[in-house]
Amino acid sequence: MNAREVALTLLNRWPRTRRLADELLEEQLDSAHLSPPDRGLTTELFFGCLRQKLALEFLVAQHAAKKPRPLVANILDLGLYQLAFLRTPAHAAVNETVALAKQHASPTETKFVNAMLRKAATSDLDAMLGKAEPWVRLSHPHWLWERWQTRLGKRDVTALCVWNNQPPPVYVRLNTLRPPMAKNSASQELGPPPGIETEPTSFHPLIWRVVEPAGLFETAAWRQGEFYVQDPSTLVAVDVLDPQPGEHVLDVCAAPGGKTTYIAQKMQNHGQIIAADSSSSRLGRVAENCRRLGVEIVASLACDGTRLGRCLRGERFDRVLVDAPCSNTGVMRRRPDLRWRIEEPEIARLAALQLKLLGQAAELVKSDGVLVYSTCSLEREENERVVEQFIGSHADVRLETTRSLFPPRDGCDGAFVARFVKR
């Protein structure tokens, strides 16, 4: 199978499962044995067609008298995405896509694909999309566009949707618990992980942007735990938590372990961290990441976050991080299928869960201890309103600070962080 065939397989599979697109992609790439460039093309085609789903459906409707069956629609999406968004030379985009149709569709359908793509190749697709409604042109659900426009205004909602439609950069966090990083950190001369083309960022001294991600997970630096792949936004909650060596820390909803291992790094591997999560299988990823990164102070706890008091039996902590399950609307650039999966009523359900988790966590904080609440959501119901409700029902907790990251403004994934102190 070549890159386009694998992408078509993924587009056919995605609507029939509730699994995440990146999980499907990883599984398919593992079995396809593609070259690094072809792996990159498969990823671009699959994720790109998911991001631009609404815009591609609009373009198909402009050229077709009736809606094609799903398989043919996916073949057309692949061709149109290459023409309209990748700017692939017309002959390559059309010929390769028609070859796909010959393998998977009927002769009549193949003729239709050929005729439609040849016509599209000579059309002004940008002008055509310019006539669509803005949420269609920018390929976001109408309800989400309206919600964001009401709160943000047209300029910011447009910037956010444009942001979400761009392939995200890859960032790594340097791990100072592993040599040579440990040696360099002592002299304050942190450099990039060896064997990887990277550049420094203004976000954080530990965060470097990967210039060429191909083969990143096959490098010696990865195997030796010298870095962890992590967006800059995810460091903010831990920096606000500010864990110190020797402390007793609880990380609620810890999997897959990015924040947990950064907490351990800030604690210099001295003290104890309880990494709690409701999923035992996901805790396995926490353990795996701890092993690779040389983290030695983490103990896992499989427990529903709303029942932690029962699981921990009166144990108290110096600092508690609640990285709550959320709508993930701040990370839509990294989750290309999320916009089509989430529904508006889910936001209210998640906010109720977040408030329960925060209330349970507050009971586990020592007097004068620190509690930090974080999400990767942009929605007020999950952020500011949860904080307001929490403060209103917990007189023994004082809000110290909040911080919000808005992707087009801050140049990284969206996030919200609130820090409380137990009276």
Choose the catalytic residue: 290, 326, 376, 412. 376
Residues 254-264 pLDDT 10s:
999 999 999 99
Given this model, what pLDDT does residue 65 score?
A: 83
Range(s) of the domain holding residue 23:
3-134
Query: Catalytic: 376?
Result: yes
Same domain? 121 vs 98: yes
Same domain? 247 vs 307: yes
- Residue 219 tokens read as 């490098």
Q: Kindly state whether residue 148 falls inside one of the protein's structural domains.
A: no
Same domain? 371 vs 300: yes
Same domain? 325 vs 407: yes
Same domain? 105 vs 60: yes
For 74, list phi and psi in degrees, rounded to 5. Answer: -65, -40
Q: Kindly state whether residue 146 falls inside one of the protein's structural domains.
A: no
Given this model, what pLDDT does residue 215 score?
A: 85
313: left (phi over 0), alpha (psi -120 to 50) or beta: left
Given this model, what pLDDT does residue 187 score?
A: 46
Q: Kindly state whether residue 149 falls inside one of the protein's structural domains.
A: no
Given this model, what pLDDT does residue 179 score?
A: 74
Q: Kindly state whether residue 152 falls inside one of the protein's structural domains.
A: no
Residue where the block lists tokens 């079995």: 31
Same domain? 274 vs 209: no
- Is the bond into 180 cis (omega within 30 degrees of 0)? yes
Same domain? 209 vs 237: no
Write down which residue in 182, 205, 229 finishes a domain: 229
Q: Kindly state whether residue 394 falls inside one of the protein's structural domains.
A: yes
Write down which residue in 134, 150, 183 finishes a domain: 134
Q: Kindly state whether residue 91 falls inside one of the protein's structural domains.
A: yes
Q: Kindly state whether residue 219 falls inside one of the protein's structural domains.
A: yes
Given this model, what pLDDT does residue 191 score?
A: 77
Same domain? 9 vs 29: yes
Same domain? 212 vs 275: no
Q: Kindly state whether residue 181 falls inside one of the protein's structural domains.
A: yes
What CATH number is associated with residue 101? 1.10.940.10
Same domain? 254 vs 394: yes
Q: pTM here?
A: 0.93
What CATH number is associated with residue 393? 3.40.50.150
Write down which residue in 79, 111, 134 finishes a domain: 134
Same domain? 399 vs 335: yes
For 148-175, give one letter per residue: b (16+ CB within 10 A) or e.
bbeebeeeebbbbbebbbeebebbbbbb
The residues pairing with 207 across neighbouring beta strands, listed in sequence order, are 173
Q: How many domains does the chain divide into?
A: 3
DSSP labels for 228-279?
EE--THHHHHHHHH---TT-EEEEET-TT-HHHHHHHHHTTT-SEEEEEES-
* Regions of the chain with pLDDT less than 70: 180-189
What CATH number is associated with residue 214? 3.30.70.1170
Percent of the chain with pLDDT over 70: 98
Same domain? 197 vs 280: no
